[in-house]
Amino acid sequence: MKIIIQRPGADDTIDMTVDGQFISPPPPSLADRIFRAAVMVAAIAGAVAIAALALWFAIALIPVLLVAGVVAWAAWRWQLWRMPRRF
């Protein structure tokens, strides 16, 4: 015998047997399991794609940073050369 108890104001139901045991929900269908696996694969693929894009951007910035460092060093040396000597 299956007894369904509904709480006021709630949409969910609690399935219990006569002796007070809860009835476990049915296992997910094959289509549901495949869909969940596909969603997980898509999420992981998206995360890998974002990580690859971030890594590509970081690697692309290395030459820009090196040139900026050389320009900054040259400007600093130029300022040192133009300063009057105080010895």
pLDDT of residue 19: 86
For residue 64, is it within any domain? Answer: yes
Q: Is the pLDDT of residue 59 over 60?
A: yes
For residue 21, is it within any domain? Answer: yes
Contact between 13 and 6 under an 8 Å Cβ cutoff? The reply is: yes
pLDDT of residue 18: 83
Contacts of 1 (CB under 8 A, 6+ apart): 17, 18
Q: Is the pLDDT of residue 45 over 70?
A: yes
Domain assignment of residue 34, given as a range: 3-82
Number of domains in the chain: 1
Model confidence pLDDT, tens digit, residues 6-15: 666 655 667 7
Model confidence pLDDT, tens digit, residues 20-33: 888 888 899 999 99
pLDDT of residue 17: 82
For residue 87, is it within any domain? Answer: no
Q: Is the pLDDT of residue 56 over 80?
A: yes
